[in-house]
Amino acid sequence: MTGNITSEIDVDQSELVGTEPVSVKQPEVSYRQWRGLFLDIQQEHDFKPLTIEGDLPADISGIFYQNGPGLFSAQGTQYGHLFDGDGLIRSIRIKDGKAQGAVKLVQSTGLQEERQAGKILFSGLGTAVVADTRVGRWKSILTMLRKGMKGEFAGKNLANTSVLIWQNRLLALLEATKPTEMNPDTLDTIGETSLGKAVQGAFSAHPHWVSERQTGFNFGVNQRGADTFLDVVELPKNGPCKAFTSIKLDRRPVVMVHDNIATANHLVFFIPPVHFPLKNLWNIIKGSAILPQFEWKESLGTEVIIIPIDDPTKVTRFKTKPFFCTHFANAYEENGKLIVDYVHSPDLFVFDYIGSSHMGYSKKFHQDVFDKMKPETLVLRRATIDVDRKDIQFRTLSNKVCEFPKINPSLQGSRYNYTYMLHQLDTFEPTGYTLTHLLKLNVQTGESTIVGLGSEQFPSEPVFIRKKNAKSEDEGYLLTITYDGNKHLSYLAVLDAQHLKQGPIAKIHFGQALPIGFHGAWRPL
């Protein structure tokens, strides 16, 4: 799949008649040249100088990291789902008004084994792998069973979802298994880590920091025997990573607990009604793709789990109507209640929404996908939780389709005003990728600012960094790696978070196209 990388824009000039003003049709703003987001990375490289366009603010000093798939096929075979792509770390180091960039694939053991074998060896969310011979199939089955009984991950650690900067260490994350450590200065792969044996299985791609406590938390959903556990670890600013608590979940196995959030005093989990019938386990063992084995079972409802940080034994659990949380924006406590802001979906539509984007399917295919989109899909909602009464109330903060919410990191777990997200216009075209704009939302007042970066410009998750000596919450910059579909090139756009309508104040050019990115992080220097 190559797609049409160049954009053609027609501008009609009207003739001057007498003293009438010239009427000029404005250039069409379109978002059709998105296919370049889903092409394999062409060049890996170490840190090297990058070209800067515009005025790069002098007070920006740090390293930006972003993770996402870098390969969409292996050995000539296309992956069956976007989330099956091998991880690619992209980074920009900014200091003294200069910028250097590096791009490197995560050299997982699985990727190296597949390259040596010359074929895909591991099934994924949408990728099915069946051994060539009966002996090979039984060998694969026995390997999966053996690893499963040991609590080991039997798939490929793609490390393609997010990055965590912790105690000057850089970790590439995939929620199904252990983190992969990378050299933060070179992006070379060091390898899987258990963080001092604190992580024994899965380690989510969405850890969260609690600013008031100067510590972070993450979790993993792990199978031990016939039971499923929610294992939580603590990631303090100083000191080792340590096991925090472990909670046995009601259903087994439990899948698709994608994110979690923390207030100053509580950890919050929404366990969706994604059922994995044990009868389907045999399909995976035989080599079937994983995602088709999941079932959305509304009768199960979504379970709310609240863990007090100071006494994790006093867990509160209750059920509510079924929904799926793709990502949390933030959470805090007010008037004795927990305020939790998150991106809401009534089902697992998001996996169809983006999962096939790299496949090059027709416009009709994508229209059929969007026809399944229910109201209140991918909108920012607020859950107000009364822990003592085991009650949860919902309201929509914005009915605009959005994803990848980020906030001022100094307010994680505290009351805040602003979140910054990607946004799909109401007038979107049903193509393979529609998150074309940036959205700044005041979650307290509902006031919003929507900004596009121009025709065929596709931003990714915006990361907020504070200005030095900032006086207000939104006094800072947004960094977003952006794909230019007109030129088939990518750049880091730098925007003033208080003046988004002005557009990028600086662009840092990579000199090549970068595939779609998921989550990023900023490390101050």
pLDDT above 90 (res 225)? no
Distances from the Cα of 251 to the Cα of 90, 229, 275, 293, angstroms = 38, 10, 8, 16
DSSP structure class, residue 23: P
pLDDT above 50 (res 116)? yes
For residues 54-79, one letter each, b for 16 or more C-beta atoms within 10 angstroms of the residue's C-beta and e for the rest, the string is eebbeebeebbbbbbbbbbbbeeeeb
Residue 144: its pLDDT value, please? Answer: 60
pLDDT above 90 (res 377)? yes
Residue 142: its pLDDT value, please? Answer: 60
- Half-sphere exposure at residue 249, Cβ-oriented, CA atoms within 13 angstroms: 32
pLDDT in tens, 229-261: 999 999 999 999 999 999 999 876 677 899 999
Question: Are 182 and 158 spatial neighbours (Cβ–Cβ below 8 Å)?
Answer: no
Question: Are 60 and 78 spatial neighbours (Cβ–Cβ below 8 Å)?
Answer: no
pLDDT in tens, 194-219: 999 999 899 999 999 999 999 999 99
pLDDT above 70 (res 21)? no
Structural domain includes residue 137: yes
Q: Which of 137-151, 329-343, 400-414 is the least confident region?
A: 137-151
**Which pLDDT band, with edges at 50, 70 and 90, does 368 fall under?**
confident
Cα gap 453→74, rounded to integer Å: 33
Structural domain includes residue 124: yes
Residue 391: its pLDDT value, please? Answer: 98
Residue 431: its pLDDT value, please? Answer: 72
The answer to whether the bond into 253 is cis (omega within 30° of 0) is yes
Cα gap 474→406, rounded to integer Å: 12
pLDDT in tens, 456-500: 999 999 999 999 999 999 999 999 999 999 999 999 999 999 999
pLDDT above 50 (res 220)? yes
Give the residue from 229, 228, 221, 391 showing the smallest Cα distance to 320: 391
Structural domain includes residue 24: no
How much of the chain, in percent, has pLDDT values that exceed 90?
71
Structural domain includes residue 2: no
Cα gap 501→481, rounded to integer Å: 18
H or E segment to which residue 488 belongs: none
Amino acid at 275: H
How much of the chain, in percent, has pLDDT values that exceed 70?
90
CATH number at residue 276: 2.120.10.30
pLDDT above 70 (res 17)? no
Only one residue has tokens 């009650």, namely 391
Angle at 152 between CA 149 and CA 153, to 5 degrees: 120
Largest distance between two CA atoms of the chain: 85
pLDDT in tens, 271-299: 999 987 777 877 777 777 888 888 899 99
Residues 434-440 have a mean pLDDT of 96
DSSP structure class, residue 461: -
Structural domain includes residue 1: no
Range of the domain at 482: 35-524
DSSP structure class, residue 349: H
H or E segment to which residue 46 belongs: strand 45-49
Only one residue has tokens 């963080």, namely 195
For residues 450-479, one letter each, b for 16 or more C-beta atoms within 10 angstroms of the residue's C-beta and e for the rest, the string is ebbbebbbbbbbbbbbbbeebeebbebbbb
Q: pTM for this one?
A: 0.91
Residues 383-400 have a mean pLDDT of 98
Structural domain includes residue 4: no
Structural domain includes residue 93: yes
| Between 495 and 137, the higher pLDDT residue | 495
pLDDT above 70 (res 151)? no
| Between 292 and 414, the higher pLDDT residue | 414
Query: Rounded to an integer, what is the distance from CA 401 to the centroid of its chain?
Result: 16
CB atoms within 10 A of CB 486: 17
Which burial class, exposed, middle or buried, applies to 429 when counting CB atoms under 10 A from its CB (0-12, 13-18, 19+)?
Answer: middle
Per-residue H/E/C for 388-421:
CCCEEEEEEEECCCEEEEECCHHHCCCCCCEEEE
| Between 85 and 275, the higher pLDDT residue | 85
Q: How many domains does the chain have?
A: 1
- Half-sphere exposure at residue 176, Cβ-oriented, CA atoms within 13 angstroms: 18
Question: Are 92 and 62 spatial neighbours (Cβ–Cβ below 8 Å)?
Answer: no
302-308 sheet: strands from edge to edge: 261-262, 266-271, 302-308, 316-320
pLDDT in tens, 53-78: 999 999 999 999 999 999 999 888 89
pLDDT in tens, 178-192: 999 999 999 999 999
Cα gap 254→261, rounded to integer Å: 18
For residues 277-316, one letter each, b for 16 or more C-beta atoms within 10 angstroms of the residue's C-beta and e for the rest, the string is eeebeebbbebbbbbebbebeeebbbbbbbbebeebeeee
Which residues does 108 contact at the CB level (< 8 Å), separation at least 6? Answer: 86, 87, 156, 157, 158, 159, 180, 189
Question: Are 441 and 448 spatial neighbours (Cβ–Cβ below 8 Å)?
Answer: yes
Residue 146: its pLDDT value, please? Answer: 60
**Which pLDDT band, with edges at 50, 70 and 90, does 149 fall under?**
low
pLDDT above 90 (res 47)? yes
| Between 365 and 50, the higher pLDDT residue | 50
**Mean pLDDT of all residues in the chain?**
89
Cα gap 398→456, rounded to integer Å: 25
Structural domain includes residue 274: yes
Which burial class, exposed, middle or buried, applies to 18 when counting CB atoms under 10 A from its CB (0-12, 13-18, 19+)?
Answer: exposed
DSSP structure class, residue 15: P
pLDDT in tens, 302-321: 999 999 999 999 999 999 99
